Amino acid sequence: MLDHFKRFAAYNAWANARLYDAATALKDTERKKDVRAYFRSLHGTLGHILTADRIWLHRLTGEGPLPARLDEEPYAQFPELRAAREAEDQRLIAYVGSLDAAALERVLEYGNTRGEAKSLAVKVILAHVFNHQTHHRGQATHILRQLGVAEPPALDLLYFALPSA
């Protein structure tokens, strides 16, 4: 199972890089345009993914930024958002790389963003983190198309896993 999570950590960094590469084709006003998405815009959606990852990594490690809200906009400027995303991807890869099988089974007790006490196994949290990123990257890909990017990047795991993709 540990190899599975290591693969997903690497895959997420790969997929995020491709998504951010595609977003660079847009003007800042386009990335921030309200397209009636759950987090309003492409910039808002990308910011939410980063914010959620920071919350989870802080819970798991006790380190790093701890955003107060899931809809917090961590960076107003795209270059800073991208740099923070790349750094967070490396933090996630390093965290997963530091785990052993026993650590995956550990139950983490934490307070959610509403202050409610919760507990989950680390392996469930990691599965959620990777699934959450995939969910919102799908939304971001749809937003890219809405904003006129004719060919948003293919981000499926198989494109990462296949050597010829």
Binding residues: 48, 132, 136
Which regions of the chain does DSSP assign to beta strands (E)? 107-111, 117-121
Count up the domains in the chain and report the number: 1
pLDDT for 71: 86
CATH of residue 20's domain is: 1.20.120.450
pLDDT for 72: 87
Q: Tens digits of per-residue pLDDT, 130-156? A: 999 999 999 999 999 999 999 999 999
State the distance between the two ends of the chain, measured CA to CA, in whole angstroms: 25
Q: Tens digits of per-residue pLDDT, 54-87? A: 999 999 999 999 998 888 889 999 999 999 999 9
Binding residues for a divalent metal cation: 48, 132, 136
Q: Tens digits of per-residue pLDDT, 80-122? A: 999 999 999 999 999 999 999 999 999 999 999 999 999 999 9
pTM: 0.95
Q: Which two tokens stand for residue 82?
A: 């991208």
Q: The domain containing residue 46 runs over which residues? A: 2-161
